[in-house]
């Protein structure tokens, strides 16, 4: 019941960090779906607590609308497409790609009726969406995905993570857990005790770990030819935005001079899109800059990595259930250790941004609600 | 996030209409069960948020009591019947048909102990119940079911609808949806654009639709012999009470003079009894005034209709889930269109009645709670 | 809606009795587990709303720690044991048996980091735990279990009861229910109407029932050789503590003089450990003082008793669901009858103790929170 001095201090400290109750950050590009997921079949996906209808026009352009019909709340994902027009499956209202209602059966005029549409942008294997203020939706703000550049080969996948996106970022920013959570996949015992540097700026958070010398796990040893060799494994966790985390790693034979080493690197984009407070769409785009033509290497690495990431999904869900149960109790605390420095800074940043944005939304809503007195239809 | 002018006006307007959060209307007769459902087996059904115990006395009379034993809350539906007496399955308290406790084991006197009983009335295929103030339970107020009169043949059924009863009434008062939700059963494409009249009074709401000329769907074409003919289909949706909605339809060959047309009508009672805020007992009594002796027509029409009504159950459940998720959010709104006129008036009526009744209950409770100081037993 | 005078008085009265919403009583020894359940496998059990990690040290001593890692809330029950040290399965923090963190990977110093540990004590077939204030954890306060003394043979078991522990105590303090809930197992029809005495003191509540003459059910008749004889069955329900209830019974042939009667008694410890407000760990230790060497008698009685107690589990769950649904409504009441005298006194006692303890905790928390201003780590 009563806390120790250290626990109490930790309790105070963790209240400054984002957690599952922190409001979402809307003014960011998030990944809505893998490119291959969106088709002429209407689909719905919950993003930042909104049900979003996703489909492609006849010319292939992706479209995102609110999934709730503005008339009587029927889910448009259970409706039909007529050309590029969505026809509500309940009373037949028709919406174009901008969310404007273009027809109401048994009524001549439907002007002014609309549902919200969301800017989307397809970039290679992923489709980005802007859930925030429309006027701020700038394509320039889409974060770069360096593994999509020339000279790299990629594969991508999707997992359903029953945990807040905050804890996935945290998981990625401290790879100490490779020695424990991933002991049977791509972790090695020396990982947790390896040296690391952090690089913390206002809105970017990096942690670089030097595991040298080490023996590589199969997922890295086989494709690089470094099996049974004393190798270097240097990994950088890079929080790019609330919507994107990139893990970079390089591998080499430490018996070779720097000039002799082949350039063997991987970059994995971990892409958490909040669905709800306790659920995250977890997209992965993994790339490498070697063995570019070898499909069996792609398959092997993809399979091995997804098995490891599935361990994160299971572990984070266990954490999420624990926090769901005890996060609001009087004696909840999280003690932070040295390896959490980047992660703590990142969680404080998420909280500051979320709260600043919320304050702005409320100020705007206050302004909008004040002046005009509206007549009910 | 921010709403358009039309959306904002719709938001204001829909706050005056009943929804799933509107209190129940107690002072009405509701259907508790189909006549064939109630037997000498004790059964429990939740009606207006109350668990009701239903059974028949040895002479066949139906009885309705509160299902919670007044002693230690054991469900009487898990108990036994001894003659016309319910014997609680936990500590053996005995209740007669009026809910009076007539015996407590190991105690001589049990006077004054009772649970609530509810007036019930069997009318052909259904059993009505009065959940409101006992002194207002007047059999005269049971709404008429014209398909139970002579010259009509009926069939009845029951569905479990996971949606507020408000949205079932709304569904029935605007049959635009036949062209969309029922496109594969008894809807036709011309239905949504057909002319209609409304008849809106203080407590009764009708909408009449003229689909002329049309081709009838099999459920009506086959039994009337109007297959492949240009026919009239004239349908009236009639909100009779919060507990009863009747849909009347007539069909004829438009090539015939009025005097030559056989009288071929159907009347379907749609009977929504609220179980909880988000669940409704949906009873149906369907009648026709032709082919009275033909059981295979009864079977055919019953099967076809129930398949169509099952589409309403599925569609309304989708609407209910959407409203459950977004109905309380700041940007929720429902835009009403011309075909909603009767339905909007009906939902305003339900809200007014519910709120007036609630105010009355609270006033009465205030009066009852004030004067006497009671001694705890 | 409106209550009768008796119902209203009952409503007022039952507000003074403990129910599922009454806070837990922490300063008591509770049974955490059966001795045979705890091993070198890490296990978690929720006790008084806390997840408790249970395991044995290499020397066999049982250990209880908070199951939540103090770092990032990973469940330690999904972790590993290294000797007597728990190694968190996420980031590898190590805890000793006192809950002190003895290592944080990639950090030299971990002094001060700790999680809560709980005093435990193994007593024959059960392991007791103290969830309250550590300074009050006195082994002397562990309630006596007389069936563990010499001259008795016992068997034990565990059931998962989805109901507040309050209602299990109540169930045990009034065995009227044997004639109804246990009509098919160890109840007889004459049980409910038998005479009884109560013995109510400040913190102990007994009810003694004399069923004389009676015919014993098989569970008692067979092992005592009293089949088909006019027998006495004298049973005492004894509330010993919030964590322990003992039912004593003696059986004899009423045709024998007191001096000729063999001493044939049973004592059953019913041990309710609250898991949550609506869930209870229900341990049973059953003992007898006759036929001590006969294992088949042990098996027969154990099987018969557990079948009967399973009827309580099912019945109490039905009661719990009813109270969950209606316990907070304005017209909820529980009418108490004569046979409830001991039980009502017991429930009032539980409520008084729980509220007194809560007040003390809040006073202490107030004091602790006031003086020092802590610096976040």
Chain B residue with the nearest C-alpha to that of A73: B319
Alpha helices in C110-217 (DSSP H): 165-173
Per residue in B110-119, pLDDT (tens digit) is: 889 999 999 9
Cβ distance B322 to A107 less than 8 Å, yes or no, reads no
User: What is residue A350's predicted lDDT score, i.e. its pLDDT?
Assistant: 98
Cβ distance A75 to B318 less than 8 Å, yes or no, reads yes
Cβ-Cβ pairs closer than 8 A, A with B, add up to 107
Contacts of B368 in chain C (CB under 8 A): 2
Residue with tokens 């006692």: C349
Per residue in B15-49, pLDDT (tens digit) is: 999 999 999 999 999 999 999 999 999 999 999 99
Chain C touched by B8 (CB under 8 Å): no
C153-161/C126-130 β-pairing: unpaired
| B286 closest CA partner among B34, B29, B32 | B34
Q: How far is C128 from chain A (nearest CA, A)?
A: 19
Contacts of B26 in chain C (CB under 8 A): 1
Per residue in C23-38, pLDDT (tens digit) is: 999 999 999 999 999 9
Per residue in C63-76, pLDDT (tens digit) is: 999 999 999 999 99
What is the DSSP track for B84-123? TEEE-TTT--EE-TTSBEEEBTTBS--TT-B--EE-EEEE
Per residue in B121-162, pLDDT (tens digit) is: 999 999 999 999 999 999 999 999 999 999 999 999 999 999
Contacts of B190 in chain A (CB under 8 A): none
Contacts of B325 in chain A (CB under 8 A): 51
Nearest CB partner across the interface for C339, out of B107, B113, B132: B107
User: What is residue C240's predicted lDDT score, i.e. its pLDDT?
Assistant: 98
Report how far residue A287's alpha carbon sits from residue A46's, in angstroms, rounded to the nearest whole number: 27
pLDDT band of residue C376 (cuts 50, 70, 90) is very low
Three-state secondary structure along A236-283? EEEEEECCEEEEEEEEEECCCCHHHCCCCEEEEEEEEEEEECCEEEEE
Chain B touched by A366 (CB under 8 Å): no
What does the block give as tokens for B289? 């005034």
User: What is residue B110's predicted lDDT score, i.e. its pLDDT?
Assistant: 84
User: What is residue B369's predicted lDDT score, i.e. its pLDDT?
Assistant: 55
Chain A touched by C72 (CB under 8 Å): yes
Residue A100: strand pairing partners:
A114
Q: What is the mean pLDDT of chain A?
A: 95
Cβ distance A181 to C89 less than 8 Å, yes or no, reads yes
pLDDT band of residue C127 (cuts 50, 70, 90) is very high
ipTM over 0.90: yes
Chain C touched by A353 (CB under 8 Å): no
Report how far residue C112's alpha carbon sits from residue C117's, in angstroms, rounded to the nearest whole number: 14
What is the DSSP track for C254-322? TTS-GGG----EEEEEEEEEEEETTEEEEEEEEEESSSTT-HHHHHHHHHHHHHHHHHHHHHHHHHHHH
Per residue in A187-202, pLDDT (tens digit) is: 999 999 999 999 999 9
- Residue B135 makes CB contacts below 8 A (sequence gap 6+) with none
Q: Are A202 and A209 in contact (CB under 8 A)?
A: no
Per residue in B236-247, pLDDT (tens digit) is: 999 999 999 999
Cβ distance A338 to C104 less than 8 Å, yes or no, reads yes
DSSP summary character for residue A334 = -
pTM above 0.80, yes or no: yes
Q: How far is CA B67 from the centre of its chain?
A: 21
User: What is residue A141's predicted lDDT score, i.e. its pLDDT?
Assistant: 97
Integer Rg of chain A from CA: 24
User: What is residue A111's predicted lDDT score, i.e. its pLDDT?
Assistant: 82
Domains defined for chain A, CATH in brackets = 29-131 (2.102.10.10), 146-354 (3.90.380.10)
- Residue B82 makes CB contacts below 8 A (sequence gap 6+) with B94
Neighbour subunits, C (≥3 Cβ pairs < 8 A) = A, B
Q: Provide mean pLDDT across the span B344-356.
A: 98
What is the DSSP track for C98-124? TSBEEEBTTBS--TT-B--EE-EEEET
With a cut of 60, say whether residue C370 has pLDDT above it. no
With a cut of 70, say whether residue B96 has pLDDT above it. yes
Range in A145-159, B362-376, C308-322 with the lowest mean pLDDT: B362-376
Contacts of C132 in chain A (CB under 8 A): 1
| C222 closest CA partner among C270, C266, C259 | C266
- Residue A242 makes CB contacts below 8 A (sequence gap 6+) with A25, A28, A30, A165, A169, A350, A353
User: What is residue B180's predicted lDDT score, i.e. its pLDDT?
Assistant: 96
User: What is residue A374's predicted lDDT score, i.e. its pLDDT?
Assistant: 44
Neighbour subunits, A (≥3 Cβ pairs < 8 A) = B, C
- For chain A positions 153-212, those within 8 Å of chain C (CB to CB) are 167, 170, 174, 176-177, 179-181, 192-194, 196
Chain A residue with the nearest C-alpha to that of B182: A90
- For chain C positions 201-260, those within 8 Å of chain B (CB to CB) are none
The dihedral through the CA atoms of C81, C85, C88, C92 has a sign that is negative
Chain A touched by B328 (CB under 8 Å): no
Q: How far is B175 from chain A (nearest CA, A)?
A: 9
Q: Which residues of chain A have pLDDT under 50?
A: 371-377
pLDDT band of residue C108 (cuts 50, 70, 90) is confident
- For chain C positions 86-145, those within 8 Å of chain A (CB to CB) are 87-93, 104-107, 110, 112-114, 132-133
Q: Where are the beta strands (DSSP E) in chain A?
A: 29-34, 43-47, 50-56, 62-66, 80-82, 85-87, 94-95, 101-103, 117-118, 120-123, 126-130, 153-161, 195-200, 205-214, 231-241, 244-253, 265-276, 279-288
Q: Provide mean pLDDT across the span C31-56.
A: 98
Residue with tokens 């954490």: A319
Identity of the highest mean pLDDT range in B296-300, C108-112, C370-374: B296-300
With a cut of 80, say whether residue B376 has pLDDT above it. no
């Amino acid at each position: 019941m009563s806390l120790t001095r250290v626990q109490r201090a930790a309790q105070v400290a963790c209240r400054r960090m984002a957690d599952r109750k922190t409001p979402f950050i809307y003014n960011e590009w998030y990944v809505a779906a893998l490119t291959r997921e969106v088709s002429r079949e209407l689909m719905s996906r919950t993003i930042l607590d909104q049900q979003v209808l996703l489909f492609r026009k006849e010319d292939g352009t992706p479209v995102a609308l609110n999934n709730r019909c503005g008339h009587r709340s029927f889910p448009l994902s259970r409706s039909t497409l007529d050309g590029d027009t969505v026809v509500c499956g309940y009373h037949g209202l028709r919406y174009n790609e901008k969310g404007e209602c273009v027809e109401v059966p048994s009524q001549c005029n439907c002007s002014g009726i609309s549902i919200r549409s969301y800017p989307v942008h397809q970039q290679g294997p992923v489709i980005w969406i802007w859930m925030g203020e429309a006027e701020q939706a700038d394509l320039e703000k889409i974060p770069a995905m360096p593994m999509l550049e020339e000279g790299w080969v990629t594969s991508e996948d999707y997992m359903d993570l029953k945990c807040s996106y905050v804890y996935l970022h945290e998981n990625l920013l401290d790879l100490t857990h490779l020695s424990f959570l991933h002991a049977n996949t791509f972790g090695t015992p020396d990982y947790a005790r390896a040296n690391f540097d952090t690089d913390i700026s206002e809105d970017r958070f990096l942690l670089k770990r030097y595991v040298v010398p080490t023996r590589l796990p199969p997922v890295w040893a086989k494709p690089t030819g470094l099996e049974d060799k004393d190798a270097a494994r240097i990994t950088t966790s890079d929080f790019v935005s609330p919507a994107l985390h990139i893990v970079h790693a390089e591998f080499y034979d430490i018996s070779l001079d720097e000039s002799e080493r082949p350039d063997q690197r991987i970059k994995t984009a971990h892409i958490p899109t909040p669905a709800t407070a306790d659920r995250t769409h977890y997209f992965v785009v993994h790339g490498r800059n070697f063995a570019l033509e070898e499909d069996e290497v792609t398959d092997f690495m993809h399979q091995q990595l997804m098995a490891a990431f599935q361990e994160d999904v299971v572990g984070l869900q266990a954490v999420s259930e624990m926090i769901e149960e005890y996060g609001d109790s009087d004696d909840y605390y999280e003690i932070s250790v040295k390896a959490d420095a980047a992660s703590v800074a990142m969680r404080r940043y998420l909280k500051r941004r979320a709260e600043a944005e919320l304050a702005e939304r409320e100020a705007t809503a206050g302004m909008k609600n004040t002046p005009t007195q509206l007549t009910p239809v």
